[in-house]
Every structure is written in structure tokens, then in C-alpha cells.
Amino acid sequence: MELQDENSGWQTIKSWTSSGGTSVSSSKKYYVSRNNTYRVVGTVSIYDNSGNLVETAKAYSNEISY
């Protein structure tokens, strides 16, 4: 997961990783500055039994101004 800010042209300012199992959840805190717009990007990569990348998908949250 990535936290991005618009002031940097949607650059990642913080990232977290999780792996393993058939489902992954993450709950993290990161304190942000005022007068900016943020979004969260989730990326999922799927690999086959041989470790080859099969598919990658991204999802973007709504943009939140603070």
C-alpha cells in the first residue's frame, strides 16, 4: 500500500508491504500535514507456483483534502 500526496504530483510519501496467504489486510497509521490532498494506492501481485508473476492490479482510494 502507498500513501500519495498531490502536492508532489501524486508521489508516494509512505509505503507498507504485506504478503502471504489468500487474504491480506493492513492497518497502519501515518500522520499527514494540513493543506494537502492525499490518496491511498493498493497494489496486488499474483504469482504462480513457480514464482512467476501472473497479474498485477492497482486500486486507488478517493482523494481526501485535509
The series of mean pLDDT values per 10 residues for the chain, 66 residues long, is: 89 84 71 91 91 95 92
| DSSP SS3 for 63 | coil
Residue 39, pLDDT score:
95
- Distance between CA atoms of residues 34 and 47, nearest Å: 39
Q: Which residue type sits at 38?
A: Y
pLDDT score recorded for residue 24: 64
The residues, ordered by sequence, that sit 6+ positions from 43 with a Cβ below 8 Å of its Cβ are 1, 2, 56, 57, 58
What is the model's pLDDT at position 30? 85
pLDDT at 27: 72
Q: Are strands 37-47 and 53-60 parallel, antiparallel or unpaired?
A: antiparallel
Phi, psi of 58 (to 5 degrees): -120, 145
